[in-house]
Amino acid sequence: MTVRVGNAALAPDFPEAAKKQLANAQMRHNVRYATDVIRAKRNRVVAEMPDWEALRESARQIKAHTLRHLNTYLEQFEKACTAAGGHVHWAKDADEANTIITAIIKSHGEKEVIKIKTMTSDEIRLNPALEAEGITPFETDLADLIVQLGNDQPSHIVVPALHRNKTEIRQLFLEKMKLENLGDKPEDLTEAARRYLREKFLRVKVGIGGANFAIAETGSVCVVESEGNGRMCLTLPQVFISLVGIEKIIPKFSDLEVFLQLLPRSATGERMNPYNSIWTGVSPNDGPKEFHVVLLDNGRSEILADEKTRQTLQCIRCAACLNVCPVYRQTGGHAYGSIYSGPIGAIVTPQLQSMQHSQSLPYASSLCGACYDACPVKINIPEVLIELRGKVVAAGGAPASEKIAMKAASFALSSSQRLAAAQKLVRIAQWPLLHDGTISKLPGFLGAWSETRNMRAIPAESFREWWKHRRKDQHS
Amino acid sequence: MTSLRTEILEKIRRNLRVAPEQREQDYAAIAREYQHSGKLALESRLELFAERLRDYGAGVHRCSNQQLSSTIAQVLAARHIHRILIPPGIPALWLATPEIEFVAGGDGLTYDELDKMQGVLTACTAAIALTGTILLRHSPTEGSRALTLIPDYHLCVVFENQVLETVPEAIRHMEPFSTLPITTISGPSATSDIEMTRIKGVHGPRILDVLLTKV
């Protein structure tokens, strides 16, 4: 089985990749600006919802419930979708999904497909697999088009091209769309994309997309979008293929009343995104004549086994956790080496790969908890990060400095005499670091920790020593 | 393929260890403390709907049922549109205006023909005030999905009694139609993909006008 998460298995460790990204001042500026804008919008539209916390709690419970009964919900979805004229396929891993999708396209003798933005297709590296079979995929989401034309990698889950500014995009469009001239206002660039893609929407016979939600009760698929490229791709072609991670299931149509409130406000800071499409199988005289759903496992069923980390699969890919993360805001998405970046990427990527790769990602966090507060389905990301760090350590993969520190701590803490001796030692060693009773800069690898924190000095007397003296004083 | 399906489901079952009989009981126990229905009186609800639509950059006009056809003509004239597509079920009463040529947008039209049309006039199934959303189930008065997608302009008639306040009210209203194609529309198509600047109009209709009509 080849579980694949983009190219994450081959990516360098986070600290190494982050160092390179931090040197790119333009990228850092673009990322900080974009995340600031989305955060401000998100905070405004969340603040106007008096029942936001109740919605988050319901969403968490619906998702947790669905995951607990995922097998029966998947079977129910398959049955309902098939009854409505859809074809349901099951893919254990990336290669199987790519093979199934390629075979469907080839069975119609087609050489081109139009695509709705789907992170899952980046996860399984569908585009290179299609190209290897002589099929040209056209990304139709504006940001994905920018990433595809630039031979680039997505750097954010919702706005994958936020690391690019308009000057860079203009240059790219001029060259790849073979245009004579083009303005550099965002309006000009959007108009160029509209003209470039319209001909493809009206002509190409096969469409591919993901799913924001797959409804077990009805066998329906729901796609949430802004530009209308989604509607074009899922309405106009003769054949449509939905690539759906098995965790995208929700039990009932009525459960949309929770998620369609949380997702747009969390993702783009809108009260509602411009378009939602919900459809069930095939409809006579409306939309594609043939509809396929590829249910993708690719490591997800393994994540279900651990009750502590299972909550990872509750994610609805809104990227609110990226926008608030102090680490992501400094490094941008590429440092994570995975198409899933930010806090959610730090827990999704290593788990999908059964902790075999990306072991530095659970450390790409200061555990500040901002991601947990922002998450619309209340995934306790810090809790999962700590759990995964435990797994990395158990597998012997912790960073060297942490291993030495933890060994020393274990040695000192496992005996009261050793602890007392260590405290005495630190009391002496700390004096060059002290300023007004606090330590604001630690030496060596501990320096990173103290960059944003101050520590109180080790007091002249420990609690044990004070207790001992106190009892002596009382007795005398 | 069947063996693959069995393999995946078997693995999930093994990893979950939950009795399937518990499912319905578990589902019923999910907390739903959020706001289900609205509290606003009709006029405040309509004002909120109009405000939210304008916030997206959509045009909003109000009229009575008797004024419907003349208002349609005025709104279209202001947009310099003289020919407009209509789905097969639009009532003749809406079309009693000689200035406009109404083109039947049935199944016979190709995508290229739809692309050459300036716009489309439809009804809707429901609307949400809080989010400025129109819901279509693509009935004979709402037209097929392609009809409200390819032309660059959409004029949608919303009757006042179709405007609900909250998302849960609208989803419950749509439940009987849950297996029909459903499209929800909140303003014209838009993108913020380039430097987070919101740009109205990408691939879906770039202009949306709503006619809020007294029943």
The ipTM is 0.97
**Are B197 and A35 contacting, i.e. CB atoms less than 8 angstroms apart?**
no
Residue A456 parent element (H or E): strand A455-456
Mutation for testing the A interface, residue in B3, B12, B124, B153 having most A CBs under 10 Å: B12
Chains A–B, number of C-beta pairs less than 8 Å apart: 240
B131 in contact with A at a CB cutoff of 8 Å?
yes
Contact between A229 and B201 under an 8 Å Cβ cutoff? The reply is: no
Q: Cα–Cα distance between B149 and B147 in angstroms, integer?
A: 6
Interface mutation vs chain A, best among B179, B186, B200, B208, most A CBs within 10 Å: B179
Whether A403 has a pLDDT exceeding 80, the answer reads no
Q: What is the mean pLDDT of chain B?
A: 95
CB-based contact, A285 to chain B, within 8 Å: yes
* Model confidence at A276: pLDDT above 90: yes
Residues in chain B with CB shorter than 8 Å from the CB of A214 are: none
* 3-class DSSP state of A11: coil
Biggest CA pair distance of chain B: 69
DSSP letter at B167 equals H
pTM equals 0.90
Of residues A139, A155, A134, A148, the one with CA closest to residue A210: A139
Does residue B199 belong to the interface with chain A, where contact is any CB pair within 8 Å? yes
Phi-psi region of B10 (alpha: psi -120 to 50; beta: other; left: phi over 0): alpha
- Residue A361 region by backbone torsions, left for phi larger than 0, else alpha for psi between -120 and 50, else beta: alpha
Residue B126 token pair:
């429901």
> Which residues 182-221 on chain A approach chain B with CB closer than 8 angstroms?
186-187, 189-190, 193-194, 197-198, 201-202, 215, 217-220
Nearest to A194 by CA among B121, B57, B150: B150
Cβ-based contacts of B27 with chain A (< 8 Å): 65, 251
What does the alpha-carbon distance between residue A385 and residue B24 come to, in Å, rounded to a whole number?
Answer: 32
Which H helix or E strand runs over A242? strand A239-245
* Closest chain B residue to A265, measured at CA: B131
Residue of chain B whose alpha carbon sits nearest to that of A258: B168
B8-49 pLDDT per residue, tens? 999 999 999 888 889 999 999 999 999 999 999 999 999 999
Condensed to tens digits (0 to 9), the pLDDT of residues A67-109 reads: 999 999 999 999 999 999 999 999 999 999 999 999 999 999 9
Contact status of B187 with chain A (Cβ, < 8 Å)? yes
Residues of chain B contacting residue A286, judged by C-beta atoms under 8 Å apart: 138, 144-146, 181
B99 touches chain A (CB under 8 A): no
What tokens were used for B162? 């179709």
Which chain B residues are Cβ-neighbours of A193 within 8 angstroms?
202
User: Between residues 321 and 340 of chain A, which touch chain B (CB distance below 8 Å)?
Assistant: none
pLDDT at A446: 64
CA–CA separation, A379 and A262 (whole Å): 14
Rg of the Cα trace of chain A? 26
Average pLDDT, integer, range A348-370: 91
In this structure, of A231-245, A437-451, B16-30, the range with the lowest mean pLDDT score is A437-451
- Which residue is closest to A78 within chain B, CA to CA? B5
For chain B, first and last CA: distance in Å?
A: 54
Chain B residue closest in CA terms to A223 = B183
d(CA A440, CA A62): 45
B183 to A218: CB separation less than 8 angstroms, yes or no = no
Residues of chain A with Cβ-Cβ distance to B145 below 8 Å are 231, 235, 277, 286-287
**3-state SS string for A111-147:** CEEEECCCHHHHHCCHHHHHHHCCCEEEECCHHHHHH
Q: What is the pLDDT of residue A415?
A: 83
Across the range A230-239, mean pLDDT stands at 98
Q: In this model, does residue A405 exceed pLDDT 80?
A: no
Count of C-beta atoms within a 10 Å radius of residue A309: 18
pLDDT range class, residue A356, cuts 50, 70, 90: confident
Mean of the per-residue pLDDT values for chain A? Answer: 92
- Which pLDDT value is given to residue A452? 63
CB contact under 8 A, A272 and B34: no
| A371 three-class SS | helix
Nearest to B194 among A58, A169, A246 (CB): A169
Q: How much is the pLDDT for A447? A: 66
CB hemisphere CA count around A355 (13 angstroms) = 18
Sheet holding B101-104, edge to edge: B59-64, B207-214, B153-159, B120-122, B83-86, B101-104
DSSP 8-state symbol, A351: H
Question: Tens digits of per-residue pLDDT, A101-159?
Answer: 999 999 999 999 999 999 999 999 999 999 999 999 999 999 999 999 999 998 898 88
Amino acid at position B83, single letter: R
Regarding predicted confidence, which is higher, A459 or A310?
A310
Chain B hits for A287, Cβ within 8 Å: 144-145, 181
Could A89 and B1 be called an inter-chain contact, meaning their C-beta atoms sit closer than 8 Å? yes
Rounded Cα distance between B188 and B201, Å, is 6
Inform me whether the pLDDT recorded for A426 exceeds 90. no
| Least confident segment among A206-210, A279-283, A308-312, B194-198 | B194-198
Is the pLDDT confidence value at A443 over 80? Answer: no
Q: According to the model, what pLDDT value does residue A448 have?
A: 61
Q: Residue A400: its pLDDT value, please?
A: 65
* Residue B48 and residue B179 in contact, taking contact as beta carbons nearer than 8 Å: no
A34 near B CB under 8 A: yes
pLDDT band at A252 (very low <50, low <70, confident <90, very high): very high
Residue A225 forms beta bridges with which residues?
A: A275
pLDDT above 60 for B1: no
Please determine, for residue A210, whether its predicted confidence score (pLDDT) is greater than 80: yes
The reported pLDDT for the residue numbered B18 is 86
pLDDT at A462: 84
A148 touches chain B (CB under 8 A): no
The label of the residue with tokens 């409200």 reads B148
B181 closest CB neighbour out of A96, A217, A286: A286
Q: What's the pLDDT score for residue A119?
A: 94
According to the model, what pLDDT value does residue A208 have? 98
Nearest to A60 by CA among A299, A316, A271: A316
Q: Which of B195, B198, B207 is most worth mutating to test chain A (most A CB atoms within 10 A of its CB)?
A: B195
Interface residue A377 vs chain B (CB under 8 A): no
Q: HSE of B103 in the Cβ direction (CA atoms, 13 Å)? A: 18
CA distances from A231 to A158, A198, A236, B185 (A): 17, 12, 8, 11
What angle is formed at CA B57 by the lines to CA B202 and CA B102, rounded to 5 degrees? 75
pLDDT digits (tens, 9 = 90+) for A295-318: 999 999 999 999 999 999 999 999
CA distance A342 to B7: 32
Selection from B2, B125, B167, B181 nearest residue A218 by Cα: B181
Residues of B in contact with A197 (CB under 8 A): 203
**Does A427 touch chain B if contact means CB atoms closer than 8 Å?**
no
- Residue with tokens 């081109």, as numbered in its chain: A112
Contact A33 B195 (CB under 8 A): yes
